[in-house]
Every structure is written in structure tokens, then in C-alpha cells.
Amino acid sequence: MSVPVLARRAAALRGFRIAPGDSNYFACLFDPLADGVTFTLVVEVFEPGGRTPPNTHSVAEECFFVLKGSGKAYADGVEMPVGPGDAFVLRPGVEHVVVNDTTEKLYCLTFMTPNEGFAELIRNGTPVELAAEDIAVIAGAG
């Protein structure tokens, strides 16, 4: 029997870097590996000067909602400044990069569907201790 409702508290989240030298990391909210859902939902934290590597997805759409901080998103080379309350969707096949070009952390709620191996990359990465600031932002207090 499946669980009818899945719930998480910010203080119980686990963080991961995909690769040890990455300047962004993820607090996993829901994903196929831990929860049996078809999507991945994380809070992505970009350290000052942090960025994603250029990447594309074959079939997945990826949506970002900026919770706190600012930076730039690049989609197929087109630059878009982003800040709190901004949302953007990246369609399959679009090469993209998200950059934090500030001295403060950038927090994005990031949703990918279908998962397309995203949760596996994250959960097979390096565990990261979430800072008190990270937990506060995720909990809506930061």
C-alpha cells in the first residue's frame, strides 16, 4: 500500500553535491529514489560565484523558482537576470546554465519531470551538511 501523503520538514532534509568540487548543492525534498514519485523536487543552493555546468535534458523539463538571492540564467546562450519570485522553465534539448554572480547565496526551488536520472546524480553525490541559513530559507524564515 502506498503512502497517501508524503511530507518533509526543512530541518530533516539531506544535502548533496553532485561532484565534490561543485559550487552548487541540493536539499532533496522529493524524488523517485526516496519517495517513489516520477519527478525530482529540490532546493538548489548556489554558493557566491557558484554555477551549474552547462547541461541539457533529453526529455525532462526543468523549472526554477528563485526563493532568495539573485543571479543569471542562460538558455541556449540567451541571458536572463533572475531574483526572488522569478520562475523559468527549461524545455528538453535547451542547453542551460544558472549562475550566482553575487556575494550572497542563491536559492532556487528546482523541479524536474520526468526525473531523467537527476535524483540518481544528486543522491550518488557527496553529502553536504545544510547550514542554518539554508534550513531557514527552505523553511520560509530566511
What range defines the domain where residue 47 resides?
A: 13-138
Rounded Cα distance between 113 and 22, Å, is: 23
Q: What is the pLDDT of residue 81?
A: 98
Q: Is residue 17 part of a domain?
A: yes
Rounded Cα distance between 131 and 123, Å, is: 18
For the record, the C-alpha cell of 22 comes out as: 561543485
User: H-helix or E-strand containing 121?
Assistant: helix 118-123
**What is the C-alpha radius of gyration for the chain, rounded to an integer number of angstroms?**
14
Rounded Cα distance between 91 and 75, Å, is: 9
Q: Is residue 127 part of a domain?
A: yes
Q: What is the pLDDT of residue 129?
A: 95
Q: What is the pLDDT of residue 6?
A: 85
Residues of the chain under the 50 pLDDT cut? none
Predicted confidence (pLDDT) per residue in 36-45, tens digit: 999 999 999 9
pTM for the whole structure: 0.94
Tally the domains of the chain.
1
Q: What is the pLDDT of residue 3?
A: 63
Q: What is the pLDDT of residue 2?
A: 62
